[in-house]
Structure 1
Amino acid sequence: MANQKIKSVKKKKLGSYPHTMVVFSITLALFVIGLFGLLLIYAGKLSDIVKEGIEMQVYLDRDLTEAQLAKLEKTFAAKPYVAQKHETPQVRFISKEEGAKAFLNESGEDFLTFLGENPLRDAYVLQIDADHSDSLQLANIRTDLEKTSGVFEVQYVASLIESINSNMKKASIVLLLFTVIMLVVVIILINNTIKLALFSQRFLIRSMQLVGATSYFIQRPFLNRAAWQGIMSGIIASVFLFLLTQYAYHQVEELKLLQDEEQTYILMIALVVIGCIIGFLSSYRAVRKYLRMSLDELY
């Protein structure tokens, strides 16, 4: 009989409450947050890809020499708003002959036969960097290019770019709003999970108070356990998130274009930190609540 009592006392240690249930709940909540975080990363990457597809056609004066054309190309390549790919400025030259061929292929009409000459101009096509893709900056870029000696005219599809920027901004705001809402829901869920888990410890907390244990001594095992549970949950959620992304990349190869490893790793680290902080604070609030309760309120 005495041995059985000793065993029952040993089983119920300070800070010991259902571990698996808490870790599972926190992991699930953090995993959902991670999914929304990934959607935000992919939306940002998609926005950059779309914006980097913005091009400006710079039409040149007629009868420019090879030296003048080469000088113009260097001038355009040095502009800070021109996109770089593998440290190569995205500037390409289209001669008026190439333009005539492209027009013939697209329309099937040969205007040279009835005009007698090629009315097109040589042109450079500049790919604009994503950081310079809003409407005001593009208008300033156009003005800057038109001031360049040897440039006849600069064109780009302003209405399309405004539509792209507007839609991307709306999509980002909606995703961000959903992420914030989910974060609040996750905080509440984790907080309630830990409060429920600590409910079974309320009498043990009161017993420790009655034998003279300080608040710090009582809180420490709960806080340590909650912090480790948050870290463990964050790690598990990050692993599942990583496995899910790898499976998605394997099934849909085009998704790799939206991959941003640096931001994804930052997101996974953030999940671990968020799990640890929320677990710690939720446990701290719950234990303090039970420490302040009267004996009647515990029942």
Structure 2
Amino acid sequence: MSKEKKYRKKKKLGHYPFISVILSMTLALFILGLFALLITTTSSLTKVIQQNVEMQVYLNSNLSEPQQLRISKSLASKAYILKGEDIESVRFISKKEAAEKFIEDTGEDFMEFLGDNPLKDAYIIKISSDFHSSEKMLEVQKDIEKINGVFEVIYTNNMVQSINENITKISIVLLSISILLFIVIGILINNTIKLALFSQRFLIRSMQLVGATKGFIRKPFIYRSILHGIVSAIIAAALLYGLLAYGSEQLEGLAELQNQQMQLIIFGGLILTGIIIATFSTYRAMQKYMAMSLDELY
């Protein structure tokens, strides 16, 4: 009975805690991946917001269709117009459509007592994010007003300025947190592996005593750490994928903000990060334990 207890104690002393290492690394990589996905989603949301920065170009009354078409082509050719697939950069709204929408929104038919429609035909144009600064938006406004047949150009300057300020603040905060989080994750994984290898210190010493070189001793531990990094990253990526799938079902519009290519890059980055941090941490811990004296090992 006493021999069996001694055997169990020895086994426990030299046993490498695989499960705790995998769980710790998975949790750390999951948090890192979750924040990376948050950054990409925020970036997509920012892009959507920027794509909805618009100007209203009101036209002179009684313009013919060829004149309106000329203005439309002129606007579409400008460098500051947002361009891209599935994006309606220049949209025409007739004064009749504008009146119908106003009546629908307010419930009041202003044409009954005015006897006429005072609204004007207009083009709604989307502006490229390169021109969202207050100075450039003002330049765009002045440039459009020079086009023959344009009556007035209107945009919400305060909203554009607020969007730019908020995007800058969010970018700085996310960048700062991401750097801090990466450092914390690296320290967490490093300490986890360091503690795990503590149980292997006498095995390392035994290999040194029989004449094994440092490279020979390190090799199996490094290979094992690479495997742990890959397994942990795959589990973390699977959990993130499941969370995204669930979130897309529960939150309307979240699926549109997801970028599959960026998700694959993030998942691949998790595997690479897991391998690099685990390998580096194992190497440092091995160097420490191989340099210890027998008294220090105890």
Shorter chain as normaliser: what TM range? Answer: 0.7 to 0.9
CA distance 1:112–1:143, shift in 2 (3 Å):
farther
Q: Is the 8 A contact 1:22 1:193 kept in 2?
A: yes
Gaps of 5+ in 1: none
Partner of 2:152: 153
Deviations 1:164-187 (A, max 9, x none): 222233233333333322222211
Q: CA shift at 1:225, angstroms?
A: 1.0
Alignment correspondent of 1:97: 96
| Distance in 2 (alpha carbons) for counterparts of 1:135 and 1:287 | 57
1:261 is the counterpart of 2:224: no
Deviation at 1:66, TM superposition (A): 1.4
Of all paired residues, the percent bearing the same amino acid is 46
Aligned residue in 2 for 1:207: 206
Figure out how many residues of one structure are paired with residues of the other and give that number.
Answer: 289
Compared CA separation, residues 88 and 182, structure 1 to 2 (3 A):
closer
CA distance in 2, matches of 1:147, 1:125: 17
Query: Residue 110 of structure 1 aligns with which residue?
Result: 110
Q: Which moved more, 1:219-228 or 1:90-99?
A: 90-99
Distance 1:266 1:139 in 2: 39
| Residue-by-residue CA offset, 1:70-99 (whole Å, 9 max, x unaligned) | 122122223343334635542111223333
Deviation at 1:241, TM superposition (A): 0.4
* d(CA) in 2 for partners of 1:251, 1:109: 40
Deviations 1:121-152 (A, max 9, x none): 32110022345434344233223322333323
- In the alignment, the residues of structure 2 paired with residue 67 and residue 246 of structure 1 have an alpha-carbon distance, to the nearest angstrom, of 49
Counting only pairs closer than 5 Å after superposition, residues 1-299 of structure 1 correspond to structure 2 as 17-84=16-83, 86-107=85-106, 108=108, 110=110, 113-114=113-114, 118-299=117-298
C-alpha distance in 2, partners of 1:120/1:261?
44
Q: What SS does structure 2 have at the residue aligned with 1:149? A: coil
Q: SS of the counterpart of 2:78? A: coil
Opposite residue 29 of structure 1, the aligned amino acid is A
Moved more, 51-60 or 167-176: 167-176
Q: Distance in 1 between matches of 2:66 and 2:32?
A: 57
Match of 2:202, as an amino acid?
F
SS in 2 for 1:253: coil
- TM-score normalised by structure 1 residue count: 0.86
Contact 1:249 / 1:255 at 8 angstroms: preserved in 2? yes
Structure 2 residue matching 1:213: 3-state secondary structure: coil
Listed as ranges, the gaps of 5+ residues in structure 2 are none
Deviations 1:7-39 (A, max 9, x none): 99xx89x9x722222111100110011111111
CA distance in 2, matches of 1:112, 1:98: 16
For 2:16 and 2:135, locate their aligned partners in 1 and report how far apart those are by CA, in whole Å: 59
Find the residue that maps to 1:296 and give its secondary structure.
helix
Distance in 1 between residues matched to 2:32 and 2:144, nearest whole Å: 45
Give the distance between the partners of 1:129 and 1:251, measured in 2 at CA.
32
Q: SS at the partner of 2:125? A: strand
Of 119-128 and 242-251, the range deviating more from structure 2: 119-128
Which region of structure 1 is more displaced relative to structure 2, 36-45 or 105-114?
Answer: 105-114
C-alpha distance in 2, partners of 1:157/1:95?
21
Structure 1 contact 194–282 (Cα < 8 Å) conserved: yes
Distance in 1 of aligned mates of 2:274 and 2:143: 50
Counterpart of 1:148, as a letter, is I
- Closer, same or farther: CA 155–216 of 1 in aligned 2, 3 Å: same
* 8 Å contact kept, 1:82–1:89: no
CA contact (8 A) 1:52 1:83 kept: yes
CA distance in 2, matches of 1:136, 1:205: 66
Instruction: Name the TM-score, length of structure 2 as normaliser.
Output: 0.86
Residue 59 of structure 1, CA deviation: 1.6
SS at match of 1:238: helix
The change in CA–CA distance for 1:189 and 1:55 in structure 2 (over 3 A counts) is same
